[in-house]
Amino acid sequence: MSLEDCPEPKVSVIVPVYNVEQYLEQCLDSLLGQSYKNLEILTLDDGSTDSSFQILKTYSEKDHRIRLYHWENVGYSETLSRGIGYATGEYLAFCDSDDWAEQNFIESLLHSIESEKADFSIGNYYIFHEKHKKRSVNSKKWIKAALAKTDGKISLGSEYVIFDDAVLWNKLYRTDFFRSLKIQIHGEMATAPDVPVVWCAYLSANKISVTDEMVGGNIIVQNIEENADGSYLVTVKNDLRTTTEDWFYWAFKVEGAQGKKVKFQFSQGNRV
């Protein structure tokens, strides 16, 4: 039986929401406009104090595919964990509510994961630097080339791949595979709590596929500046010192920019 003859599997898309009224409609419109239609969109409002909840309510009344959940603030990690528990689809995807999905987000990743019989698939994405109104491309073609040498599996010598692609939202996972990891999203990490989850997925997968398609866009709002001398200034919270220094070390190492100097400026704050 060919892929064309199989009934379309349901895909669950988890959308954590917290005070993102400025970006939320763009995110929801991009998901409702997917070329692949058999979706359930799990919108998880984590006690927003702006108009995010009302926007979600309006959208959920217009399209039955949007399922709305709301509770008092429990944090990003617990919100994601609850959403994973609510998912009923054969496949699982994530979309941050201040980002957007390309129209072929689900279709291209689903074709990749099914045709390659992979545990999860990866796509390229745009990075939009909001302050400077510039868009760049984060290509995963080099990851595809690296995995081609190891039959689509992370092995000795290819571990560096996981440091460049440790985000949930440019991927599609088999739901049973994701749940089989039996791990919790790290509640103690104040930023990027999904990183260890993605690392675990990489190291546990029997096969990983990569599509050549662009699948989404990530809006960058944090304060990252390139100085005139070519160095970078990163402003982060004091309590993120260890996590951020380690994260940026690996990010710049993998991207081949280790010759750049990275300067850190630490400031106080409650939430990144």
Over the stretch 60-100, which tens digit does the pLDDT of each residue have?
999 999 999 999 999 888 898 899 999 999 999 999 998 88
The percent of residues in the chain predicted with pLDDT above 70, rounded, is 68
179-235 pLDDT, tens digit each: 988 665 544 444 456 777 888 888 889 999 999 998 988 765 544 455 555 544 444
- Return the SS3 of 37: coil
pLDDT at 196: 75
Taking alpha carbons only, the member of 128, 156, 125, 150 closest to residue 139 is 125
Strands 39-46 and 11-17: parallel
Cβ 171 vs Cβ 258: under 8 Å: no
Strand ranges across the sheet with 224-226 = 224-226, 232-237, 262-267
| Nearest-angstrom CA–CA distance, 114 and 108 | 10
C-alpha angle 46/47/50, rounded to 5°?
Answer: 115
d(CA 28, CA 60): 10
Residue-wise pLDDT for 127-154, tens only, equals 876 666 677 788 888 889 888 888 888 8
The model's pTM is 0.77
Say if CB 176 and CB 201 are below 8 A apart: no
Instruction: Give CA angle at 124 (120, 127), nearest 5°.
Output: 130
Per the listing, tokens 């103690």 go with: 188
C-alpha 175 chain-centroid distance: 15
Lowest mean pLDDT among 12-16, 41-45, 224-228, 242-246: 242-246
Would you call 40 exposed, middle or buried from its count of C-beta atoms within 10 A (0-12, 13-18, 19+)?
middle
Amino acid at 16: P
